[in-house]
């Protein structure tokens, strides 16, 4: 399985003077060992490993800036690394260079409950932050499933199961500390809730996937823990009726906290992996937040909408332990899917479309996938028009890889034709670069390239990603 364009990438050996400086500064936190490099040269994408030449484990913004200055001086590629959970080849060292591991930057800098904000180093994970917030009555809602680092979540503009109510990282990051390609340290904004002063640098770096700067600190919004939480499961006779119910719920303006879709294959895999007994048909997982009365009212309206579309009566998960088990199972749907074909290599893809086009997009995608020569599952954060397809491939079968790429291309083209996007939350990385022109047009890509050139003139920050080379 080959990554687009990586075969012709230029990989130059690191200069001796560069390596000596790196090893002198970091000693045992600079590794050239094959096992360490291999760990940092693979992610959850279907691409083969692409190893960096060296791995550095940073512990502070100052150390990140020092490495950036050195790489800038010697024109050495520099790839930020969080926890390695990316799905589209974001962290692969296409041109070699240095993988900068930020997982050791795991300090919570400040929690400001009066302002509903928290400032953390880039390596802090969302579960760690929420554990620290437990006694404050606040929580951080962005939940992509994996226990991703906050820096990585900002870099990929992550969202997840709560996005329908709380938004994505784009809406929930107030400011960041960023190291530029030449080693300068900037604050993108302040902690004020809004500002009209200057360009919005925070939004520029959110979603830039390590190509414009290295995020070392993030200040995020926090929210009060809801007074009441209730979760429910609703099965449907087919895909369209389930998705149509979501469309009507959103169009009614119901402030639902979560609404997740699973097709029959995903439900079957989840039952086997997580030892559940869910009815094996397309289903929706709902979660309602608010006052006890408000939650009850929301649930009643949603139940009526579901019934009108052929949905069954809700099965409730009111106890915290039942909700936790249910959502843990949903978050493990990826790993559950892998068990449908032991020894497989997964290729995952996602798109996001306007909510009015969602039922057609999901139904047409399922019809395509039903003709595939390999198993698949479909799950989605359908409350915001985003869904994912997991394709389970024989790692030694190049024809299956090519077939999966054809199906992925059809899905993405369909989404773009529906005025959607090639990726709702996975990001571009290597895998989605070929669709950037169709989605944005050449003029927009030229502006993106100009920004990249201005901020990273030597093209050292995660090179070979995000912006496709001009034909």
Is residue 9 very low, low, confident or very high in pLDDT (cuts 50, 70, 90)? low
Determine contact, residues 360/418, Cβ cutoff 8 Å: yes
Task: List pLDDT tens digits, range 238-264.
Answer: 999 999 999 999 988 888 999 999 999
Q: How many CB atoms lie within 10 A of CB 144?
A: 23
pLDDT of res. 4: 44
Task: List pLDDT tens digits, range 105-131.
Answer: 999 999 999 999 999 999 999 999 999
pLDDT of res. 327: 87
Where does CATH 3.30.70.2190 sit in the chain?
Answer: 228-334
Task: List pLDDT tens digits, range 220-231.
Answer: 999 999 999 999
Mean pLDDT of the chain: 93
CATH number, domain 228-334, options 3.40.50.300, 3.30.420.250, 3.10.20.340, 3.30.70.2190 = 3.30.70.2190
Q: How far apart are the C-alpha atoms of 46 and 390, rounded to whole Å?
A: 11
Where does CATH 3.30.70.2740 sit in the chain?
Answer: 341-437
CA 62, distance to chain mean position in Å, is: 27
DSSP label of 419: T
Per DSSP, the residues of 349-388 read EEEE--GGGHHHHHHHHHHHHTT-SS-EEEEEEGGGTEEE
Q: Which two tokens stand for residue 285?
A: 């997982």
Which residues are CB-neighbours of 275 under 8 A, at least 6 positions away?
none
Distances (CA, A) of 402 to 42, 347, 395: 20, 11, 12
Which regions of 265-375 does DSSP assign to beta strands (E)?
A: 283-290, 315-317, 345-352
Helices 292-308, 239-251: axis angle to 10 degrees equals: 140
Task: List pLDDT tens digits, range 305-337.
Answer: 999 999 999 998 878 888 888 888 888 999 999
CATH number, domain 341-437, options 1.10.287.130, 3.50.50.60, 3.30.70.2740, 2.30.110.10 = 3.30.70.2740
How long is the chain? 471
Of the candidates 260, 265, 263, the residue with the CA atom closest to the CA atom of residue 286: 260
- Residue 410 scores a pLDDT above 50: yes
Task: List pLDDT tens digits, range 176-224.
Answer: 999 999 999 999 999 988 899 999 999 999 999 999 999 999 999 999 9
Q: How far apart are the C-alpha atoms of 344 and 393, rounded to whole Å?
A: 5
Which residues are CB-neighbours of 330 under 8 A, at least 6 positions away?
145, 161, 260, 262, 270, 285, 379
Where does CATH 3.30.465.10 sit in the chain?
Answer: 108-224
Which CATH fold would you assign to the domain 108-224?
3.30.465
């Amino acid at each position: 399985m080959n990554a687009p364009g990586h075969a012709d990438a230029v990989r130059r050996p690191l200069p001796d003077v560069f390596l000596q400086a790196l090893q002198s500064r970091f000693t045992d936190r600079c590794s050239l060992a094959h096992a360490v490099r291999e760990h940092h040269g693979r992610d959850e994408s279907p691409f083969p490993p692409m190893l960096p030449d060296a791995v550095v484990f940073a512990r502070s913004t100052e150390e990140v800036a020092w490495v950036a200055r050195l790489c800038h001086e010697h024109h050495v590629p520099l790839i930020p690394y969080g926890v390695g959970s990316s799905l589209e080849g974001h962290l692969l060292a296409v041109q070699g260079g240095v993988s900068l591991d930020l997982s050791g930057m795991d300090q919570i800098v400040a929690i400001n409950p009066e302002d509903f904000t928290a400032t953390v180093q880039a390596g802090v994970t969302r579960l760690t932050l929420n554990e620290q917030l437990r006694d404050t009555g606040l929580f951080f809602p962005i939940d992509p499933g994996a226990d991703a680092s906050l820096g990585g979540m900002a870099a990929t503009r992550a969202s997840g199961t709560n996005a329908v109510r709380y938004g994505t990282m784009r809406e929930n990051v107030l400011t960041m500390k960023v190291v530029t390609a030449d080693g300068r340290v900037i604050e993108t904004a302040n902690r004020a809730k809004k500002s009209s002063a200057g360009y919005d640098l925070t939004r520029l770096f959110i979603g830039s996937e390590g190509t414009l700067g290295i995020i070392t600190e993030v200040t995020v919004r926090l929210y009060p823990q809801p007074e009441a939480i209730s979760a429910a499961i609703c099965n449907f006779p087919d895909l369209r009726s389930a998705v149509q119910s979501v469309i009507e719920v959103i169009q009614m303006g119901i402030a639902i906290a979560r609404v997740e879709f699973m097709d029959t294959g995903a439900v079957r895999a989840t039952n086997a992996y997580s030892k559940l007994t869910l009815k094996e048909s397309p289903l929706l997982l709902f979660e309602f937040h608010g006052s006890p009365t408000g939650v009850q009212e929301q649930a009643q309206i949603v139940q009526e909408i579901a019934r009108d579309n052929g949905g069954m009566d809700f099965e409730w998960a009111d106890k915290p332990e039942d909700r936790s088990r249910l959502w843990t199972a949903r978050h493990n749907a990826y790993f559950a899917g892998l068990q449908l074909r032991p020894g497989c290599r997964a290729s995952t893809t996602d798109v996001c479309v306007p909510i009015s086009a969602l039922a057609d997009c999901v139904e047409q995608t399922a019809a395509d996938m039903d003709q595939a020569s390999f198993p698949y599952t479909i799950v989605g954060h359908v409350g915001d028009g985003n869904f994912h397809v997991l394709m389970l491939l024989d790692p030694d079968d190049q024809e299956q890889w090519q077939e999966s790429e054809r199906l992925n291309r059809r899905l993405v083209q369909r989404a773009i034709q529906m005025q959607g996007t090639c990726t709702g939350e996975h990001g571009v990385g290597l895998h989605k670069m070929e669709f950037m022109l169709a989605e944005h047009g050449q003029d927009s890509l030229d502006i993106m390239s100009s920004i990249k050139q201005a901020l990273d003139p030597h093209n050292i920050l995660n090179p070979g990603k995000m912006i496709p080379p001009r034909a």
